[in-house]
Structure 1
Amino acid sequence: MGRRHAGRAAATALAAAALLTAAAGCRPVTVTGAGASGGRGGQQQPFLGSPPPPPTYHLPTPPARPPAPHRTVRLRPTAPKPVPAAKPSYHRPHPPAAKPAGTLDRRCLTGRVLCISKRSDTLTWMVDGKAVSTMDVRFGAEYTPTREGTFGVTFKSRRHVSTLYHSAMPYAMFFSGGQAVHYSSDFAARGYTGASHGCVNVRDRQKIAALFAAVRPGDKVVVYH
């Protein structure tokens, strides 16, 4: 009897120990440095999971600025500034020609002649020794002088434009190459302060228009001093 009781007690103790071992195997295990394998204390096992994503920061949106107010600029009308009138030329060494000045050259006393005097700055239209009209004229500059002598009108051009200087030469009556008697707006505006390139300038448009209508090619031209 005593041996059977002792055997049963031992079997019961073994069963209890097995149950305790099984129960211990089902519990979660926390790995620490003291119980790590290999006997290396203080080392942790490598972490094999994915790192956590970085934090996301959202900056606050600045408030929108209100649109600038629309401004309307109104300009006050200003009165136009008066333009000063051009000053007339007062340099007139000779009065307006109404009759021939001085003594006419004897070559002007016969036939139809444009009698041009450098001494008096006048042109006199002569027909058979009688003065029909007289007008003020000016001549070429120092380096482009008007030629002197007796010539004849070669041709006429009412609306002529110089091919050399590209200037207008209305009522042109040519007598010596490119030299002609013609109207000059510059002479009308500036008087004797200017000069021509050799032509005989007339400043009275009405008088030279009448002269242009009367003169014929072949009429004599006398330029003298």
Structure 2
Amino acid sequence: MALRSGASTRRLRCLPLLWEILFLVILGATRQAGAGRSCVEDFLLTSLQPSTQLRYQEALQILNNDLDATGTVLADLPEEEQDWLLAEWILEGYENSKSRGGYGLALSALSKINPRVRYKVAWKVFDVWGKKAPPAQAPAAPPELITAMIVAALLLQRPELSLVTMLCFAGLLRVREALSLCYKDVVVGINCVTLCLSATKGGLEQKVVLTNTSTVNWVLSYLAKFPGKRNDEARIFVDRLWLCAALG
């Protein structure tokens, strides 16, 4: 009986140890499963253009370096503390006169890989930074310069470059939007020309109406010299690579 009692005592003493080992095994499995979060983050980033992915990764690396210097792991903090920590990080960048763009990229990247967190305070600090120190922008090109460029392109026997320059200036088109135009996208009306844009940066279809007499006449002259069929899927500007190089 004494031996049996001793064995029972040892068994009771071992039970807490067994439970502790079991708890550690479960905890380890949970942490291992949680490691898949980085895979999800990488997958979410694949929806972006490669150049944007690279910029986001560079911005996140800068953030991680700053956090490593303080021994902080952002993912270990509650969401509210993450928000305030990022707000203080952005404020420190403002006070040290650093480039604002990198902080915006870091916030955008974090919002992309963790869409359930809004980072409202951090974004508010970022917006106030923009109001206090607005980015310097290059002045718009004067109409006289654009006119000279259009005429120069014609003298160089590059009518396509001339028209692209005019469309980008008169219609506020991006170069890519102008080069993506097909014959079916150009609708000629009464004293106007409507451009139907399908390849916009935002992914939405847009329409641009040109009413300037000189612009409309030049578009009509170009279409008369280089006609396309109605509902033609062919692009108006065929030599796109040369135009991209010429337009920078």
Range into which the TM-score falls when normalised by the shorter chain: under 0.3
Which structure is higher in helix share?
Answer: 2
Q: Of the two structures, which has the highest relative contact order with CA contacts closer than 8 Å and spacing of 6 or more?
A: 1
What's the TM-score, normalizing by structure 2?
A: 0.20
What's the TM-score, normalizing by structure 1?
A: 0.21
Which structure is higher in strand share?
Answer: 1
